[in-house]
């Protein structure tokens, strides 16, 4: 019985997994967008001012 995980703990672990996934996506997107901006791809797509 002591090995069971409560609903609150499952909810917290799920929330933290989602937050870590979002953080990783943001950290990957930043250098990718910097490189695309440097190469002029964003201006060609009309996404840069």
Site of tokens 């069971």: 4
- For 1-49, the DSSP string reads -TTPPPHHHHHHHHHHHHHHHHHHHHHHHHHHHHHHHHHTHHHHTT---
d(CA 29, CA 21): 12
Q: pLDDT tens-digit profile of 11-39?
A: 999 999 999 999 999 999 999 999 988 88
The size of the chain, in residues, is: 49
pTM: 0.69
pLDDT at residue number 4: 86
Q: Rg of the Cα trace of the chain?
A: 19
């Amino acid at each position: 019985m002591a090995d069971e995980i409560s609903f609150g703990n499952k909810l917290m672990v799920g929330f933290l997994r989602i937050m870590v996934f979002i953080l990783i996506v943001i950290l990957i997107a930043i250098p990718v967008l910097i490189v695309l901006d440097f190469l002029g791809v964003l201006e060609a797509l009309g996404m840069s001012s």
